[in-house]
Structure 1
């Protein structure tokens, strides 16, 4: 049993009475069959209270269910993992077996089940959020029953991005692909007009592309490109003059960069075109470093890809308002999926904001952002800070009523609800 705890950023003290870390499925089932409210607790990287509860928090990373924590089926390429493991740990094990996931988030430190439950994502025009790799789930419901759902089951699309409302996920089954190498290059000073006129070419110039800005700068400060590299083939040491971004006015970086200006890039994954395995390039930060520069807050809004240029123009107009509170802001693209509560019902572009740790000032500026982006069809990230009215959130998801019905079926007493989720399901 552990003490009440805070989230990774320190901006939220959880309301739970205690934290339990069962070592067997039977212990978890006994706990779930009780009467206390229960919620799973992952790596605590959510900035909202989406994972909160007034009852018991459960961590599943220590559960021994008789299988290896990372179990790869060589015949199908599907890997079954303990849901409490960090993505970086799973990725390292997969790489040792010659396999890979399709993508990773900027932080490899986040738990698999938590990232899946909140539709956390990486970048890339053709890459879905991390939940897109999920082909199966095992969870313990509020009654203490063990439930397995796999792609093809009627309720599967409602159970993947589920905000922890259906049960405690103990295992996640993920599709994998053969391992691949990636080179990461940073370019600076991309003109805004060039981005607006060539958005598809810029974001499609590599397997995964991220752009960093503070919205008040004369150009896009940095473009981080993660391009596929062929193992064994000679890789150019530098970005050449015929590169699409160079042709648009960007300049190749001459040294490593951090997403936040002025911060030592030692915690960042290797840049300057040095090729390496996927799990050491797709994240922005290395697993063996703690990437945070200190206290911070985060928000993110996912806008339909077709409205991306309008969103960029609107945010540039807000530059003087948001820049004083920003550490950095990131632009990423994400492909559509079919999951009920995934924000990615269509191809979308994410506008991520890493704020200074001033909650009052940040919450005061969020309505300005939302007034600009919500009319364009934006959806807020489940695990980040926003002030979008919950009735509007629910109305924006066509399958929300089906999800609420599923949650009520698996948890009729509402024990798996708390914090944001309890308020959302009450609208």
Structure 2
């Protein structure tokens, strides 16, 4: 990976021809997302290799949406008119070792950036389960990792560059733009085209990952905080059967004077004797190393290795965020539905995320528990189960993940975001004609 120089930018701009359709993703009859469950509404997909090209596209079309790594399971990135890809804009632009920040092209993937940072002696505070997702897309939807003291991935954003509906380039920063910045980071694709992101970084660190099997649900009820606080990042996997947590994944930083004591038993769970996949029946070959083996942060924080396809993609995903203070109640509420959930489920993951101050983040002003469902790819059945789950989680005002499947009524969803009126006003300021709005945003933010 090379640092981009101004000379490289200039020569690329002079050598680049006019905008052309990107046909590599559209080689099939229809363009689909990563899982194959969602078919996009247009085959007009254009690529931009530079900011001037992004500006040209934005000025040219009255309707436009950015399509990233296509890991969303719904229509948040869809358009019936035109799609734009910034996939070739994925370089490191600058590394500021004094400010402890890195600036990258928005389409860079975490799995690309992480090894580069590690070689330079730096790290990010957290990573999602998959390192295959783009930085811009993850931050736009408040995608997250885990940890009681770790905010979602967007909390690392120190600044961002965005092309607005008029084709103007604006830069927003945490240091200078206050509430506007806090409104714009989790923007749901509604403010413009993000072209650059500046992230906070920290000194690199080593980690280990230890897995335990069959944690009794009763132990989770009694010791929830101790269990989820037992490592830097902790994930609990359950199929909602036999009143147990199938697997507990504890990711711990290796620091001088501090050692994780991987005892044979952990709150009634037994330490695994081999690497495991979150779905125990599947091979762990594509999972990150376990068994307490030390490794760099970026090879332990995700569940899956960058060099492997994490699965066939034949799945659906839903996720709901509830206040961490209600975590046990929420888990027990969902557990009551096990007979309805289990036939259609591959696995559920429970993770904690710290609070943040981004207006449209599901973790806005609340430390949260995320209840994540990986479903079999049977939407007809899942569509019947989701309202049951949403009803059980209603007392906790659960907020769904923006990029995953939910059936919550727009009025209910909108009532759970206190800054939504102000966010819609900002959308009108940046995009007065609704160039970047689509059916998903019209329904969920503006619908009734």
Flag whether TM exceeds 0.5 (same fold). Answer: yes
Q: Distance in 2 between matches of 1:366 and 1:257?
A: 28
Deviation per residue, 1:118-171 (Å, 9 max, x gap)? 000000100000001001010111111111000140310110001010001011
Partner of 2:56: 30
Q: 2:231 maps to which residue? A: 206
Alpha-carbon distance between aligned partners in 1 of 2:382 and 2:375, rounded to the nearest angstrom: 7
Deviation at 1:71, TM superposition (A): 2.1
What is the Cα deviation at residue 250 of structure 1? 1.0
Aligned residue in 1 for 2:141: 118
Cα distance in 1 between the residues matched to 2:305 and 2:340? 32
Aligned to 1:320, the other structure's residue is in SS state helix
TM (norm. structure 1) is: 0.95
Deviations along 1:79-124, one digit per CA (max 9) or x if unpaired, are 1011111111111111111110000000000010000000000001
Partner of 1:312: 331
1:343-358 maps to which residues of 2 (within 5 A)? 343-345=362-364, 346-358=366-378
Q: 2:74 aligns with which of 45, 48, 52?
A: 48
Distance in 2 between residues matched to 1:178 and 1:111, nearest whole Å: 22
1:107 and 2:133 aligned? no
Spell out the pairing of 1:137-216 with structure 2 (5 A cutoff): 137-152=160-175, 153=177, 154-216=179-241
Query: The residue matched to 1:224 in structure 2 has which SS?
Result: strand
Matches of 2:135 and 2:242, distance apart in 1 = 35
CA distance in structure 2 between the aligned counterparts of 1:271 and 1:420, rounded to whole angstroms: 39
Structure 2: segments with no counterpart, 5+ residues:
1-20
Contact 1:36 1:56 in 2 (8 A): no
Which runs of 5 or more residues in structure 1 are unaligned? none
Equivalent in the alignment of 2:17: none
- How far off is 1:326 after superposition? 0.6
Q: What is the deviation of 1:424?
A: 2.4
In the other structure, the counterpart of 2:438 is 418
Distance 2:99 2:40 in 1: 40
Contact 1:71 1:80 in 2 (8 A): yes
In structure 1, the partner of 2:105 is: 82
Instruction: Give the CA deviation at 1:69.
Output: 2.7
- 3-state SS in 2 of match to 1:131: helix
Task: Name the residue aligned to 1:253.
Answer: 272
Equivalent residue of 2:117, what SS? helix
Query: C-alpha distance in 1, partners of 2:81/2:436?
Result: 9
In the alignment, the residues of structure 1 paired with residue 417 and residue 406 of structure 2 have an alpha-carbon distance, to the nearest angstrom, of 17
Q: Distance in 1 between matches of 2:125 and 2:134?
A: 16
In structure 2, distance between residues paired with 1:304 and 1:230: 30
Counterpart of 2:9?
A: none
Deviations 1:186-245 (A, max 9, x none): 0011111111110000000000000000112332110000001137x8978x8225xxxx
Matching residue of 2:41? 15
Question: Retained in 1: the 8 A contact 2:65–2:84?
Answer: yes
Q: Distance in 2 between matches of 1:61 and 1:149?
A: 22
- Which range is displaced more, 416-425 or 336-345? 416-425
Distance (Å, rounded) in 1 between the aligned partners of 2:197 and 2:206: 25
2 CA distance for matches of 1:96 and 1:208? 23
Task: Write the distance in 1 (CA, Å) between the matches of 2:426 and 2:54.
Answer: 22
Superposed displacement of residue 70, structure 1: 4.5
Cα RMSD (Å): 1.5
Once the two structures are TM-superposed, the CA of residue 75 in structure 1 deviates from its matched residue by 1.3
On the 8 A contact 1:326/1:354 being kept in 2, the answer is yes
Q: TM-score, normalised to structure 2's length?
A: 0.91
Q: Is the 8 A contact 1:51 1:419 kept in 2?
A: no
> CA offset at residue 74 of structure 1?
1.1
